[in-house]
Amino acid sequence: MAAVAVASGCSAHDGKGTSAQRQAAGKPGAARSDSTPTAHPAPKPTPAPKTAAQFVARARESMRAERGWTFALRGSESAVMQGQAPSSATYAATVHRTTAPVALQQTGTVTTSKGEHKPEAVYVVGGTGYVKGGAEGWKKGPLSDPDIANEVEDPLAELDAFAVYAKSAAVNRTAAGVRLRVSASGWQLSAARNRPALERAVREAEPTLAQLRKAGVTATDSQITLKSLTETWDLGDGAQGYRVTSHRYAFTFLVPFHGGDIAVSQEVRADNRGVFDGQVALPSAVE
């Protein structure tokens, strides 16, 4: 309304207008300058990540942006002593992981070296883990309980944990995007307990080490050494927001016994199968 009054040279009160209004009306473009919106600078583009920590930050943001994800899971674990038959098992499962709310459904099958097959179901809802193996009843507990945590394979939680020590990862470009890798070796078990990058390996190895001790293995934590550990994250390219395409985790501890070593190993791989739009809910049989 003010712009219209100035352009016409008229006062809204007396029909004549003041001299200031008449002078303004006589200046070319006066009305246009009042109505032209103020120009705002274009937002600066987000710089491309360079360090491992920056790639992890972008990957976490990209993964949280979707309602959920599906992963194909494969794993194996073994305890092998030279000259003896290995004790081993393999695992295959499908994981559905939602981001809001955080929940997980993991269903698969454990196959032992003897050819035995046992179905397994794992859920995480409300921060509590629920595990059922074969015909056994459900057991539940907080994720801080190692017995529960060792059954849960949550790539998004692992990505959050990786962010703590990602600065030590090597960064390599691949045809599909970026690869981040952490490797370690030579650590004594006693020292490995206090290393963020090795905490999972120690936790996962503990049940097997406990079984070995019950069987008569007397090696102490300072005698058990980490032969090798590798953790690899494959991320997509910038167009995909550097989302996780796969995660691999493998380690081997050497346990001295009768002049030789027992090799305690584990390897887990999770491959991203795409966005999950469903919901995760506990089965009705869970108490």
* Calpha distance 78→14 (Å, rounded): 97
Under 8 Å CB-to-CB from 20, ≥6 apart: which residues?
none
The whole-number pLDDT of residue 157 equals 97
Give the angle subtended at the CA of 233 by the CAs of 226 and 203, to the nearest 5°: 35
**Residue closest to 133 by CA, chosen among 104, 109, 115:** 109
The whole-number pLDDT of residue 206 equals 96
Under-70 pLDDT residues of the chain: 1-45, 287
> Torsions phi, psi of 137, nearest 5?
-75, 170
The whole-number pLDDT of residue 285 equals 84
* Calpha distance 123→103 (Å, rounded): 7
Question: Across-strand partners of 141?
Answer: 129
C-alpha dihedral (207, 209, 210, 212), degrees to nearest 10: 130
> Torsions phi, psi of 3, nearest 5?
-65, -40
The whole-number pLDDT of residue 174 equals 93
The whole-number pLDDT of residue 11 equals 37
The whole-number pLDDT of residue 135 equals 86
The whole-number pLDDT of residue 253 equals 98
Full-model pTM: 0.82
